[in-house]
Structure 1
Amino acid sequence: MKTQISKTDPIYYQDASSLAELIRSRELSPVEVVKAHLERIEALNPDINAIVTVAGNALQVAKDAEAAIMRGDKIGPLHGVPFTVKDSIDTANVLTQRGSPIFKGRTPEQDATSVARMKSAGGILLAKTNLPEFSYWIESDNLLSGRSNNPWDLSRTPGGSSGGESAAIAAGMSPLGLGTDLAISVRGPAAQTGIVSLKASHGSVPMTGIWPREPRRFWHVGPMARSIRDLKLAFSILSGPDGHDAFASSTVRCDADTSDSAARKLRIGWMVGPGFGPVDPEVVNTVKAAADALKNLGLSVEQVNIPALERDFALDVFNKLHVMEMKEAFRIATAGRSEDELYKMAKTMLSLPDTSMKDYIEAEQAAERIRDGFAEYFQKYDVLLTHVLPIPAHEHGVSEFVIDGQQVDATYLQGATVPLNIAGLPGIAMRFGTSKEGLPIAVQLVGSWLAESTILNVASLLESVSQVNNLHPIA
């Protein structure tokens, strides 16, 4: 299996695992690594606008980490490695403003559980990254810190809601980061910028210290990176109960046998619909290419369908369920504030009619049917391979698309991602192709509940034969 990241790459394009190895062996110092990323931010961020706040103590923490290495102290798996964090995730003594003038200047006293765990593993908080207002849209734009741009093409979006995080990692401003995901928000941005991300099973990683505190039954926090091995490492650090988030209460894992020989016997189903909405032929071909690659590696692969997704369109179900819940969170956050402080999605959300009780109950029943449909699927298969987005990264501000001859609104970009949030299933986004315009195209690997290791190992196999591993948008 070929190495994902070459040690001949510049410091800012090394993955986190390589940086940790080089720091442990004293081939690099934490100070060198942090300085390289700060210089990268200074050079590129004015055009990309992925970083909204740089942690003022990052260099001092790096010096302390270097001193620990020189003393021979016991160190963690991310010792001396910088990481970035989406600006909806609390960071002690570092601004966390949630993309809104309402929270301008907000500085938490405590780290979110996920941030604290990254720091405990030796990671160095480098910066906070941009997002849409309240983490709520598929583009990262707001009144407080403006719009983030895709490093592959500045006229296009890096996605949302973790678009600043995806752009920062893709451009070499960060090797590793944390995003959140309500319906698409770590997987979509990863797909649009050519990096990798993991939305773990619901509750695997505590949401403590992340807006909104409630409701959070569809929300996830997860790692974003440039290699699958970094996702594995980060997930091992982030997962597990914290005694505060009741959804994060289980330590049980439910993986298939993924030893090297057993992995070749895993059963993979692939699909691009029906049940997800229209998909661009370039994206369809990328999913097919990934299915063929896994088959060539010796896995059992066949095309499938999931009838439950055809009966109940997950995006419609999700919209009926979460509108009432999120509207209340928005009302609380914006109470007593001027309308001038609100951006597009807050205004849109607050203007939507409430879901009727009849529709809400019917949507709850549909959600259960979707979960049951996935449960039935995973009785026969270990992994589902599909697309992340129906199209590559799009231009800024587009509200309607023609996809494979069908006109749809922008919410349809979530067609293949939102079912996992309804069901609470884990999913990985990873690049496996390139559009005719030179933009990344990603695939999504979906596992059964609490089976993260299964999809991480299959993703590693797919990564080993990928022809797009070491492509970067900016030299």
Structure 2
Amino acid sequence: MNDALIFRDATDLAELIRTRRVSVVEVVQAHLDRIDAVDPAINAVVTVNENALSAARAADADLAAGHDVGPLHGVPFTVKDSIDTAGVMTQRGSPIFAGRTPDTDATSVARMRAAGGILLAKTNLPEFSYSTESDNLLTGRTNNPWNLDRTPGGSSGGESAAIAAGMSPLGLGTDLAISVRGPAAQTGITALKPTHGRIPMTGVWPRVPRRDWHVGPMAHTVRDLALAYSVMSGPDGHDAFADTPARFDTGIGTGDGRQLRVGWFTDSGLGPVDPEVAATVRSAALALRESGAHVEPVTIEALQRDNPLYWFDKQHVMELKPAMAEVVSGHEHEMFTMSRGMLATPDTAIEDYVAAEQAFERIRDGYSEYFTRFDAVLLPVLPVPAHRHGASYLVVDGQTVDATHVQSYTVQFNITGMPALSMRFGTSSDGLPIGVQIAAARHAESTVLTVAALLESLSPVRGLHP
């Protein structure tokens, strides 16, 4: 195994390959060897692409022939197993779909391949992507590489664990309420949930409730998120929500020359936060202030009235249940815990369904007003570091709460469609990563990436690996 390659970020690997200081075969083989070495204990990878090495040889031949190459030429990437990959199984974490092999790539995968990326493997997830723990009856449970007794999160937990452990430099996940940002925080990597619709959901299942699902990149560094986002964003003519030109952006970048305005909070009505998590957010806020940004504590008034997770639970089940019930019909005995629980959830009254949408509108309005005064908001990703497997409740700062509370700080950006990014900025007393979350107004990805890149340069934990 070439240990010098496995924790290089994708941007660096692309440059090494382009300048022919390392071959694509070397890079791909190093990551395949890493999978062989560490995945038996972690169980992040569910299917290895048997054509990865032949694709690597072809990529080396293209360079030798002097062909023009894309920005990710030769860089291996992994993909959550709910995202279609042509010729490589996409089993959605369920025995119902065991052996399912799509004929076409999802739009996001096709764009990564067109940019020169090499599909390395598919990664584990909860059944149907419906849990905050990556466990299912078909491919089993994924463990956190920092501590095998802890979860790497869900639903993109296999992806987060693979990247954190050096099995992959770059990956694709999906996010309904937490699912790229939470796992990134639990394993110490970075992840971006772009504005809703920025990256088409074509070729991803489930797509309902479509107003809340997102595709997003996961990686070692912020610059890798920016690179992958630039490759995958833009309309594809199939997903009607993907209707914004890729280059359209309302945010600010590194060359704008004006002072960043960042508000931060650790509660704002969303429930208890572990003191070490709160301290990490405060440390990130202080680092931004000391770098020259205008930073101050804030309260988002709309969140004081309307808890996003409460209303999300009221609404999304009524949209997801019919789609899931249709798929599992006749296969109910092959369903796992969370899917069974979701289908058994009582239907939401129409009055509550409408009340949920009105609550979401108030939250959107609240953030609209907030962004007239600030460029970004800084807050926790999760209320706790990675918890033990199978937890049904959590004790957070002395309060006992349902384990679903892990979504309390992330789901608001799904229902508003705002871009949000997760990155590590601290370490718990027992050695687990702690992340912070950065969000900005819709279509302001450049702001999120600018603030995150600045924080990354100031981070006390940059470059740490399990």
Structure 2 length-normalised TM: 0.98
* Aligned residue among 399, 408, 425 for 2:418: 425
CA displacement at 1:346 relative to structure 2: 1.0
SS of structure 1 residue aligned to 2:144: coil
Cα distance per residue 1:310-357 (max 9 Å; x no partner) = 1000001101110101111211110121x3200001100110000001
CA displacement at 1:56 relative to structure 2: 0.7
* Aligned residue among 221, 242, 248 for 1:248: 242
Looking at structure 2, the residues matched to 53 and 444 of structure 1 have their Cα atoms a distance apart, in angstroms, of 31
Unpaired segments ≥5 residues, structure 1? 1-7
For the 8 Å contact 1:139–1:157, the answer to whether it is kept is yes
- Corresponding residue number in structure 2 for 1:189: 183
For the 8 Å contact 2:47–2:89, the answer to whether it is kept is yes
- Corresponding residue number in structure 2 for 1:259: 254
Q: Please say if 1:369 is aligned against 2:335.
A: no
- Corresponding residue number in structure 1 for 2:349: 356
- Corresponding residue number in structure 1 for 2:459: 466
CA displacement at 1:187 relative to structure 2: 0.1
Looking at structure 2, the residues matched to 402 and 43 of structure 1 have their Cα atoms a distance apart, in angstroms, of 35
Q: Please say if 1:57 is aligned against 2:57.
A: no
Looking at structure 1, the residues matched to 330 and 432 of structure 2 have their Cα atoms a distance apart, in angstroms, of 43
Looking at structure 1, the residues matched to 228 and 252 of structure 2 have their Cα atoms a distance apart, in angstroms, of 21
**Which amino acid letter does the alignment assign opposite residue 371 of structure 1?**
R
Looking at structure 2, the residues matched to 194 and 31 of structure 1 have their Cα atoms a distance apart, in angstroms, of 28
Q: Please say if 1:346 is aligned against 2:334.
A: no
- Corresponding residue number in structure 2 for 1:455: 448
- Corresponding residue number in structure 1 for 2:34: 40
CA displacement at 1:260 relative to structure 2: 3.7
CA displacement at 1:41 relative to structure 2: 0.2
Looking at structure 1, the residues matched to 22 and 364 of structure 2 have their Cα atoms a distance apart, in angstroms, of 47
CA displacement at 1:261 relative to structure 2: 5.8
CA displacement at 1:262 relative to structure 2: 2.1
Looking at structure 2, the residues matched to 70 and 383 of structure 1 have their Cα atoms a distance apart, in angstroms, of 45
Cα distance per residue 1:368-398 (max 9 Å; x no partner) = 1111111111111000000000000011001
Deviation larger for 382-391 or 274-283: 274-283
- Corresponding residue number in structure 2 for 1:314: 308
For the 8 Å contact 1:215–1:329, the answer to whether it is kept is no
Mapping of 1:103-122 within 5 angstroms? Answer: 103-122=97-116
RMSD: 1.1
Cα distance per residue 1:203-241 (max 9 Å; x no partner) = 000000000133311000000000000001001001000
- Corresponding residue number in structure 2 for 1:229: 223
Mapping of 1:27-426 within 5 angstroms? Answer: 27-251=21-245, 253-260=248-255, 262=257, 265-337=259-331, 339-426=332-419
SS of structure 2 residue aligned to 1:417: coil
Percent sequence identity over aligned pairs: 63
CA displacement at 1:461 relative to structure 2: 0.6
Looking at structure 2, the residues matched to 212 and 397 of structure 1 have their Cα atoms a distance apart, in angstroms, of 24
**Which amino acid letter does the alignment assign opposite residue 445 of structure 1?**
I
Looking at structure 2, the residues matched to 147 and 257 of structure 1 have their Cα atoms a distance apart, in angstroms, of 41
SS of structure 1 residue aligned to 2:372: helix
Looking at structure 2, the residues matched to 210 and 242 of structure 1 have their Cα atoms a distance apart, in angstroms, of 14
Looking at structure 2, the residues matched to 439 and 342 of structure 1 have their Cα atoms a distance apart, in angstroms, of 32
For the 8 Å contact 1:184–1:414, the answer to whether it is kept is yes
Looking at structure 2, the residues matched to 258 and 124 of structure 1 have their Cα atoms a distance apart, in angstroms, of 30
**Which amino acid letter does the alignment assign opposite residue 67 of structure 2?**
D
SS of structure 1 residue aligned to 2:326: helix
- Corresponding residue number in structure 2 for 1:3: none
Looking at structure 1, the residues matched to 414 and 137 of structure 2 have their Cα atoms a distance apart, in angstroms, of 28
Looking at structure 1, the residues matched to 252 and 328 of structure 2 have their Cα atoms a distance apart, in angstroms, of 48
For the 8 Å contact 2:180–2:218, the answer to whether it is kept is yes
For the 8 Å contact 2:3–2:30, the answer to whether it is kept is no
SS of structure 2 residue aligned to 1:10: helix
For the 8 Å contact 2:130–2:155, the answer to whether it is kept is yes
Looking at structure 2, the residues matched to 279 and 329 of structure 1 have their Cα atoms a distance apart, in angstroms, of 34
Looking at structure 1, the residues matched to 67 and 249 of structure 2 have their Cα atoms a distance apart, in angstroms, of 35
**Which amino acid letter does the alignment assign opposite residue 365 of structure 1?**
Q
CA displacement at 1:405 relative to structure 2: 1.6
Unpaired segments ≥5 residues, structure 2? none
For the 8 Å contact 1:208–1:244, the answer to whether it is kept is yes
CA displacement at 1:67 relative to structure 2: 0.3
Cα distance per residue 1:387-433 (max 9 Å; x no partner) = 00000001100110111121110111001000000100100000000
CA displacement at 1:276 relative to structure 2: 1.7
CA displacement at 1:9 relative to structure 2: 6.8
- Corresponding residue number in structure 2 for 1:17: 11
Structure 1 length-normalised TM: 0.96
